[in-house]
Structure 1
Amino acid sequence: MFSETENHQANGLSGGANEASGTSDSLYVTAAEEAVDELEHVSGVHPGYRRAHARGFCCRASFLPSGKAAPYTTAAHLQEREIKAIVRFSGSSTDPALADLLSPAKGMAVQFLLPEGGHTNMVGVTVPVFFARTPESFMEMLTTLNRTKAGKMPKAEALRRFARHFGESRQSLLALKRLKPPASYATNLYYCIHVYILVDSEGRRRPVKFEWIPDLGVQTLSIHDAAAMPDDYLERELELRMLAHPPSFKLNIVFGEEGDPTNDPTKRWPSDRKRIDAGRLVLLEPIAEPPGLIMDPTAVPDGIALSDDPILNFRRDTYAESLKRRSGGH
């Protein structure tokens, strides 16, 4: 699901989101307004909350790069200097009151505070792929869902439309079906589902994906045990866990090879792709969510470029529209 962001050019970071996809700003903005309209129809408008990943839990963190990524990118947060960070965990629901158990996919967004000012973000979820390949297919599936729920579309027509997109959504649906309730936000594997481009000091460009691997390993609960937990058990558990011992994640960078898709977030790369350990993120203490905190996956620093993934490039204006409505008290 989409959450929200601000225009990354306002942060002084590199632009080009729409250049990568060849889509004009005006088309993206128009589609973004329509997308947020549909997100609001899923569970209604919840003033002051994000339009997806509505309820979150924030903590202060520290990222220590291993230096192994330095030959492949000039990005400041992937060199050898320790970087301060803010981490926001969340469920995927548009409803901030929904119990943790009822929101299967979880999110982990990391904001790296860059040494020379500004920031960049990395957004991960507990499923490895997205359910829509393009903004158009995302919109059709969401609109079909909402119209069917409202009794405005016959079920036969809805099934026909969903079947048209089954090929692209199949892997995401299977991944969701396999998910078990997590024991902790700190025991999930989080995938950054979009492709990015690492740019080295010579200008060489390499497609990559990112993964956050929990040092505690993946730990889950049975449905029975999770059902006995409080609605916000993941927030409570992580707060207590950080008091006892700071949990941590390893950042893997996965390198694409010839033929691996860069423009399709519904497709996985083969599991044998080269990986490097780019560093370790340590969760230090819970914090109140900073006012105006924005986790923008298109806000990339020098040394990283956006791929031609249309969903990734669509996020900028969709999140900006969501932020505008939230900031206006809607």
Structure 2
Amino acid sequence: MSSELAKSQISSTIVDAIEELKGTHHGFRRAHARGFVYEATFTPNGSAAPFTTAPHLQGSPVRATVRLSHTDANPHAFDSDRSVRGFATKFHLADGTNTDLVMVNVERFVAATPEEFVDFIKAAKADTDAADPSVPHIKSFVGAHPTVGPALAAAKSVGIPESYGTSQYWAIHAFLWRDAAGEVRPVRYSWVPDAGVVNAADSSSWTPHHLTEELRSRLPISFVLRVTFGEPGDPTHDSTVAWPDDRRSVDVGRIEITAEAADQEHWQSQVFDPTALVDGIEVSDDPVLAARSTIYAVSYDRRSHQR
């Protein structure tokens, strides 16, 4: 079996498993179903230029489109829920191409491989069907995959942000930067809010779409793009494992989100793909990252055909 066929099959299996766990909502993404899209400008500060030839990280401001989202598959999920939030960015380059950066407000993923992710979803489904508060299937899964425990704990305990503009977001996966001389360095990304990280003290009175409504009065908001450089031995293949806190980090630019995008329907139909890269940035050996483009393609095909 070819690697591409295998990737397509496991991607379909993942989407199937998500649909079995969460159900389907016609026309919506299989995850991050409800989001809102914004106009933005990213201004690099030049600090990345010695380490990557990526055009949007050099010196000139770049127009961008940002989608902020609730990660649930249910588009009617409440913003008051304790849930992971998403921050997806599409940078619009001068040559007419785009490159994407997809982040969430937890630092790790809950599976190291696509196959593990299928097992995780099936365990969650088994516990949901059993309505067992001791969640024995998830406990068994974590026992078999010890690095998943901290990632799952972080996802379950993530704070409810006061605003989309007061949460930090991470790209989860490692990427590779290549400089003009060809030297390659592993990196990880995060968006750090200029307003600081602030969680809600009480979300009980929120409307279902509170975070989107709140942002209308808060705009503009801004974030620093922080890049952390890996050292030899830091895993690039496993998104369940965080790098040590003492790794070198550099702030390489700032994004300002200024207004709601005019054509929400158009942007809701678009894909933000973390493997849509440019020269100077490459995917790492993370198998979950490698599979995401195909997973998104399967999801896009199903939602665009109203399945």
Same fold (TM over 0.5): yes
Bigger shift: residues 114-123 or 142-151 = 142-151
Bigger shift: residues 103-112 or 189-198 = 103-112
TM-score of the two chains, using structure 2 as the length reference:
0.94
Supply the AA of the counterpart residue of 1:237. Answer: E
Aligned length: 302
- Matched-pair identity in %: 38
Aligned to 2:255: 281
Q: Once the two structures are superposed, what CA deviation does each residue of 1:205-240 show, in whole Å capped at 9, x if it has no partner?
A: 000001100000011112xx2011111100000111
Q: Runs (4+) of structure 1 moved beyond 6 Å?
A: none
CA contact (8 A) 1:196 1:304 kept: yes
Structure 1: gaps of 5 or more residues: 1-22
Aligned to 2:16: 37
Supply the AA of the counterpart residue of 2:270. Answer: L
Q: Once the two structures are superposed, what CA deviation does each residue of 1:15-46 show, in whole Å capped at 9, x if it has no partner?
A: xxxxxxxx800000011111111111222110
Provide the C-alpha distance between the structure 2 equivalents of 1:272 and 1:158, rounded to a whole number of angstroms.
35
Highest relative contact order (Cα 8 Å, sep 6+), 1 or 2? 1
CA contact (8 A) 2:124 2:138 kept: no
Label 1:329 to 1:177 Cα distance change in 2 as closer, same or farther (>3 A): closer
Aligned to 1:105: 84
Aligned to 2:287: 310
Provide the C-alpha distance between the structure 2 equivalents of 1:175 and 1:156, rounded to a whole number of angstroms.
17
| Residue 168 (1) aligns with residue 168 (2) | no
1:77-96 paired onto structure 2 within 5 Å: 77-96=56-75
Label 1:268 to 1:247 Cα distance change in 2 as closer, same or farther (>3 A): same
Bigger shift: residues 98-107 or 203-212 = 98-107
1:138-149 paired onto structure 2 within 5 Å: 138-149=117-128
Provide the C-alpha distance between the structure 2 equivalents of 1:182 and 1:159, rounded to a whole number of angstroms.
26
1:318-329 paired onto structure 2 within 5 Å: 318-329=295-306
Provide the C-alpha distance between the structure 1 equivalents of 2:71 and 2:42, rounded to a whole number of angstroms.
25
Label 1:177 to 1:103 Cα distance change in 2 as closer, same or farther (>3 A): closer
Structure 2: gaps of 5 or more residues: none
C-alpha displacement at 1:316, in angstroms? 1.2
Secondary structure, counterpart of 2:7 in structure 1: helix
CA contact (8 A) 2:34 2:75 kept: yes
| Residue 297 (1) aligns with residue 274 (2) | yes
Secondary structure, counterpart of 1:137 in structure 2: helix
CA contact (8 A) 2:127 2:138 kept: no
Provide the C-alpha distance between the structure 2 equivalents of 1:83 and 1:165, rounded to a whole number of angstroms.
44
Aligned to 1:48: 27
Supply the AA of the counterpart residue of 1:279. Answer: G
C-alpha displacement at 1:152, in angstroms? 11
| CA-based RMSD | 1.8
1:1-330 paired onto structure 2 within 5 Å: 24-151=3-130, 158=137, 161-222=140-201, 225-242=202-219, 246-287=220-261, 288-289=263-264, 290-291=266-267, 292-330=269-307
Supply the AA of the counterpart residue of 1:82. Answer: P
C-alpha displacement at 1:102, in angstroms? 1.7
Label 1:165 to 1:105 Cα distance change in 2 as closer, same or farther (>3 A): farther
Provide the C-alpha distance between the structure 1 equivalents of 2:205 and 2:136, rounded to a whole number of angstroms.
39
